Amino acid sequence: MSKLKGIKVVRNKRGKARLLVVDIEKNYDVVENLVDVLESEKRLDEPGKPAKEVFKELELLHSKKKKGK
């Protein structure tokens, strides 16, 4: 694994990693990906819908908006 510039692990006196300091300007994509992963993990237990059902709802919504013009 290559070392990323602008990322520092802060350890306590025993050497245990406690904090992660990230220079967002240098590593914006890394931070954005981390936030996306954390957000998706929070939603793992949420009920889902099949893709076909979602697409059908979107098509219905879109056709209603077209008729309302």
Distance CA 3, CA 11 (A): 17
- Residue identified by tokens 């025993």 is 14
Q: Which residue has the higher pLDDT, 2 or 22?
A: 22
Distance CA 21, CA 27 (A): 11
10 Å Cβ neighbour count for 23?
13
Q: Where are the domains of the chain?
A: 7-67
Q: Is residue 49 within 8 Å of residue 60, measured between CB atoms? A: no
pLDDT tens, 4-55?
Answer: 789 999 999 999 999 999 999 999 998 999 999 999 999 999 999 999 999 9
Length of the chain: 69
Q: Does the predicted model carry a pTM greater than 0.85? A: no
pLDDT for residue 69:
61
pLDDT tens, 42-61?
Answer: 999 999 999 999 999 999 99
